[in-house]
Amino acid sequence: MDWSSPLLLSLRVSLCATALTGVVGIGGAWVIARTSLPGRRALELSATLPIVLPPTVLGYYLLVALGRNSPIGEAWESLFGQPLVFTWQGAVVAASVASLPYCLRTARAAISDVDVRYEQAARTMGLPEWRIALQVTLPLARRGVLAGLALAFARALGDFGTTLMVAGNIPGRTQTMPIAIYDAVQAGNDHRALYLSAVLSIVALSVLAAVTLLERRPA
Amino acid sequence: MTRSVTPARAAVALALALLAVAVTASALGVRSAPSVTASSGDEILVAGASDLQFAFEELGEAFTEATGDDVTFTFGSSGQLATQIVNGAPFHLFASANVGFVDEVIASGEGVASTKQTYAFGRIVVWSPKKRYGSLEALLDPKIRFIAIANPEHAPYGVAAQQALEDAGIYERVKSKLVYGENIADTLRLVKSGNADVGIVALSLAIVSGGRFWEIPPSRYEPLEQALVVTSTGQRGVVAQRFASFVMSEAGRRVMRRYGFFLPGERRGT
């Protein structure tokens, strides 16, 4: 029974999605919490949409936005020679968008909680803003930021509806663990469904345990 | 100052580690994919209607043995697979449960019109794990709470089931008891798991699933003309065509017959 290829694919997709979401989410969180950029509230709201929208609706929007007839889809296809939809890269985009709000909101709350006086003190010592953000704000907010990343990873690992719409169900290419489980259930292959579910549960629990340990350890 | 730098470095290190793991997993995944299928030939992706699941898996193995080319299947409802292909899904062959979806794919420019072929005619049965229902009217049994059929919106077998119920004049009376499977394999699952009492499913799935079934006379629904089309050009398209020919070959027809399909040129019962 082949369980390693959906698992490896799931890990690859969710790790890449977490990396992508981490950069956009933490960056966005800092912009929203620490700058006076106009429209930053609207930005936060729109980044929260994936929590509210049903995954299939989100997937459908992404399919329209990234599909072969969309400007993004066309640009991608002319750059890389293949469509973005129905590839594992498409699955990464789907999982990233679905997990973005979890990372962004958690990180935003953590950054907002950092006492601005530390940052002001750093400013009086002449540190440039980007170093204040990286060396003062982020370290002080690290617990929340890490928790946000962990949530994003968990959400990406478990994503089903959005990924299915954007990347389809192709064994060995876009069939992530949740989709492989769905496929096994649909095909009436109960043993495989149970087995894959158990593997995914163990992986998810281990990741959660690892993150909890990491968080508890003093820096 | 130096003390505040340490956690920042830790955060950066963590981010880098995460990225490294992602890249490693990515490389592993890329490498593991071909090694899983240890053959020297090409690999083609086939989108197949759910009723083909068992027949095509057997055909796929025989094909790989004979040619060295690998076949990977994605099974689903024909309508959903057609939509995916039109939207750019990278399948090389589309084997539909209904010729209409093949025409749709060809019209969108994703299918090679000259490769369109009818490979089988599907048959539907009333299936239940224990009790045998010997007619459509038997479905009026008040003890039946749910009757599973495939979703007629996008599954040809669901369309055929609905036509048969309408033809028997009982559609309106059983309508409130109908539950819809995503595709015909899912429909069978709904019954098999006990969540529906009885279902109208493909004979090709009923044959391997045990249980009791009764075939609905083919005169009660429009023929389920199952057609296929190559959806790729180039080398993979050639291999896809080779697999299509294999399905149509005498060896392929023997397998299809065993799973209860009527074959073009030898259709009975209409």
Question: pLDDT-based confidence at A69, cuts 50/70/90?
Answer: confident
Give the per-residue pLDDT at A208. 80
Q: What is the mean pLDDT of residues A78-88?
A: 91
The boundaries of the domain holding residue A83 are 4-216
Contact of B158 with B122, CB cutoff 8 Å: no
| Euclidean distance between CA atoms A51 and A5, whole angstroms | 29
pLDDT computed for residue A212 by the predictor? 78
ipTM: 0.74
Taking CA atoms, what residue in A is nearest to B187? A186
Q: At what angle do helices A190-216 and A4-34 cross, to 10 degrees?
A: 40
The full set of domains in chain B, from first to last, is: 43-121+224-258 (3.40.190.10), 122-220 (3.40.190.10)
Above 90 in pLDDT, residue B230?
yes
What tens digit of pLDDT does each residue of B136-163 get?
999 999 999 999 999 999 999 999 999 9
Confidence of residue B18 (pLDDT cuts 50, 70, 90): low
Name the band, by pLDDT with cuts 50, 70 and 90, for residue B38: very low
Task: Give the pLDDT of residue A209.
Answer: 85
- For residue A205, the distance in angstroms to the closest alpha carbon of chain B comes to 18
Chain B residues with a Cβ under 8 Å from any Cβ in chain A: 1, 4-8, 10-12, 14-15, 18-19, 21-22, 25-26, 28-29, 32-33, 36-37, 45, 50, 53, 72-76, 84, 87-91, 182-183, 185-186, 188-189, 192, 209
Lowest mean pLDDT among B37-51, B179-193, B195-209: B37-51
Mean pLDDT of A72-83: 91
pLDDT score recorded for residue B88: 86
Given a contact cutoff of 8 angstroms between Cβ atoms, the answer to whether A181 and A203 are in contact is no
> What pLDDT, on a 0 to 100 scale, did the predictor assign at position B4?
43
pLDDT over 60 at A107, yes or no: yes
Nearest to B206 by CA among B152, B128, B154: B128
Given a cut of 80, is residue A217 above it in pLDDT? no
Contact (CB, 8 A) for B44 and B93: yes
How many percent of chain A have pLDDT more than 70?
A: 96
What local confidence, expressed as pLDDT, does residue B32 receive? 42
Query: How many other C-beta atoms lie within 10 A of the C-beta of residue A124?
Result: 7
**Position with higher pLDDT, A216 vs A27:** A27
The answer on pLDDT for A158 being more than 50 is yes
Compute CA distances A204 → A10, A11, A201, B158, B255, whole Å. 11, 10, 5, 37, 42
pLDDT tens for each residue of A159-206: 999 999 899 899 888 999 999 999 998 888 889 999 999 999 998 888
Name the residue with higher pLDDT: A63 or B6.
A63
Q: Hey, what are B84's tokens?
A: 């995916």
| Averaged pLDDT for residues B199-209 | 95
Yes or no: say if A189 and A180 are a contact pair by the CB < 8 Å rule.
no
Per the rule left: phi > 0, alpha: psi between -120 and 50, beta: everything else, A85 is beta
Q: CB–CB of B89 and A185 under 8 A?
A: no
Q: Is the pLDDT of residue B20 over 80?
A: no
Does A219 touch chain B if contact means CB atoms closer than 8 Å?
A: yes
Average pLDDT of chain B is: 87
User: Which one of A68, A78, A135 makes the best mutation probe of the B interface by having the most chain B beta carbons within 10 Å?
Assistant: A135
> Band of the pLDDT at B135, cuts 50, 70, 90?
very high
Give me the residues paired with residue B202 across strands: B124
Mean pLDDT of chain A: 91
Q: With bands split at pLDDT 50, 70 and 90, how would you rate the model's confidence at B234?
A: confident
pLDDT at A210: 80
Q: Specify the number of domains making up chain A.
A: 1
pLDDT of B52 > 50? The answer is yes
Q: What is the CATH number of the domain that holds A166?
A: 1.10.3720.10
Q: Is A123 on the interface with B (CB under 8 A)?
A: no
Is the pLDDT score of B54 beyond 90?
A: yes
Q: Which of B22, B74, B87 has its CB closest to that of A169? A: B74
The pLDDT assigned to B5 comes to 43
